[in-house]
Structure 1
Amino acid sequence: MSLTHILPIVGAAVVVISYLVATHLPPPKPKIAGIDLGTTYSCIALYHAGSGEVEVVPDSVSKRLTIPSVAAIEAKNGTVLVGSEAKAQATLNPANTVYEAKRFIGRSFSVEHANEERFPFTIFNRSGSFGFRLPADQHHVLDSPEKVGAQILTRLKQSAEALLATKVTYVLLIATSSRCVMAVPAEFTEAQRNATKDAAALAGLEVLRLLTEPTAAAMAYGLHEQQALSRYNGTMQDSPELQQRLRVAAEELKVCLSDKLQCDVRVALDAGTSDAAFEASLTRSEFEAINAEIFERMRQPVLEALSKAGVPAQGIHEVVLVGGSTRVPKVRATLTEMFGKPPHTSIDPDQAVAVGVAVQAGILAGAWPLTVSAIEIPFSADLSADELAELADEEMYDELNPDTDQDL
């Protein structure tokens, strides 16, 4: 048989074998994780090759898909607590519980922010950056935003590894998620981005790429001051424990009013007794009136973004929601009014960023089906349209021609 007759047969055999491999062999385990280290909640997700599906990993302890971005030191024995366990004891141990550490990461110290009354833990100047001083933190485990972030990231990583361990037959084949793609706020400075990478490094994670949160949320969709208890007249700074109880109650009330038209709240004024308590009933309309200034302020950055882009609100095809507060009906109603269309709500706003960075992680790992990677072009008023187009071409080339020497 001549070579001209053999080549078509060989080619057909290769196609058939490739199809059988792709459809019958199990897809490779995720090699890279997508992580959203959030201000309030954090989560981790894995991109599954073959199906193209993203799996948000449940916490190994609470079994919830997100964990509170909270870390604490137990006052009695110095044990480090993370996530739900840390949040659960916050009202009884406020001076040793850190939350919203992301607000301070990579930023230069300022007395104004350090003296904010709503933080019951001590904030100090740590060599020009923000530091946390906790009475029970004898070994300085949580004395910086990076270290707090590292504890949260470690918990997320452990949950992913636990999930992978349950889905393979042989322990030696477990793929640990030591590499990741992370999301950061679009306004983060270079120092804040580097500090986020430092937190990941402390957790034993190598960050292959940082995506901005808006870009990550867009990829997830397939598109490339709580004031509710302000009527209480007590002085919160006199009691850190009371401050924490009020903060937790305010958050629970906000969540409740996102689903119901009226909710009740009860806050014990003394942790040792249930007799003295602040009780109130609040309607959704009252909540919206109390926070009217905040809802109005959200319009300004939206209008500024539209103005800078030179695009009218009606020219936006899709509106994507990110973050738990976007569940508030007034937020969604305001955006619907501004854009003339309801926002996308098909993905949990607490998970949207993690889902998006997991998709990017799958692309970097060479997973199939093939997907176009996210391309972020830094805006500069000094660049012409032609220069921006050229920069986009360069970014596209880098994405489609990755360093083949890098073992993902």
Structure 2
Amino acid sequence: MTIKAIREQFPILNQEVNGHPLVYLDSAATSQKPISVIESMEAYYKQHNSNVHRGVHTLGTRATDQYEGARDKVKNFIHASSTEEIIFTRGTTTSLNTVAYGYARHVLQEGDEIVLTEMEHHSNIIPWQQAAKYTGAKLKYIPMEADGTITLDAVCSTVSENTKMVAVTHVSNVLGTINPIKEIAQIAHENGAVIVVDGAQSVPHMQVDMQDLDCDFYAFSGHKMCGPTGVGVLYGKKALLEEMEPVEFGGEMIDFVGLYDSTWKELPWKFEGGTPIIAGAIGLGAAIDFLSDFGMDNILEHEQQIAQYAQEKLSEIDGLTIFGPKERGGLVTFNIEGVHPHDTATVLDAEGIAVRAGHHCAQPLMKWLDVTATARASFYLYNDESDVDRLVEGIQRAKEYFGDVI
């Protein structure tokens, strides 16, 4: 399928911004939504809207079938062993917090170690900071190489017999670094530790297999993978999820409620208190169908080609610094000498080009890079080299403008 045909499936891309055709290069923040996802949610509200699991009437049955059908799609998409291992949440942040509060706070003790990296998103740092404060565990960070990668030697030298949890991103949302999760999981397990993976930037862009990676917990969001906002997934190995405590209590997640004590439903519902994210899950299921039609290996190859092209073109611009390794996911993070990233993004927006500027919810990584902020262009299946060419033209205009101002 041509890029033109792909773009036609995304209604929002067919518009002008500030008098220019929109070039959307901020999919790492949130992806755009194809018409099939939009229509799936519209159909639910128009034809099947009802609460799930509770009613015996026709609409309730339809809604339940669609909601649980979406769970089955997620299970197959990430190659989980069972739908019992698929918990619907509000997104990656909620998923990681669920593990930190429902698991880590109950198993960690004073002197235990939680191992992280400095490239983590705040959502994969702050929950562990709080768990460490609550339990007396301590945080350790795997040292990074100069290009923003981590070596397995560094992992081995950081993870110890006192390590109980390893929390690491699969793909950095700033550097594009693709971490060797399977090998890190093996090192964690050899030391008796549990591994938690932030998959927000991986699941939308590459094939992931829970059986192959052997992760204990894995979190991702729907809105970064052509799905709606407000829905995400926590994958967890069944034995660990059964050991965990729920973090939300109320309707739907209970088995029996008495005046002084209650018991919980079986997996996965014990973690889905209250009315669940029904339309969001259905939309996520439609997004999985959409992505599966393209093939995740094809999407990754396409994005990496664009990222490589972008690195080549941007490296030709004087005074521009690119951050991160040569081999990366589908994004390029950069700064222009003498120009604040917010100013760069403002000039690009005037040209109809949407990029992200700021610390990207990764302030420790900004400190490691010795910058306060960066600009980031991130790519998806609806982008191609012509978008990079527009980006280069926009950057040149930013340089010219601020060069005259300075």
**TM-score, length basis structure 2:** 0.25
Question: Of the two, which has the highest radius of gyration?
Answer: 1
Q: Which has the higher contact order (CA 8 A, sep 6+)?
A: 2
**TM-score, length basis structure 1:** 0.25
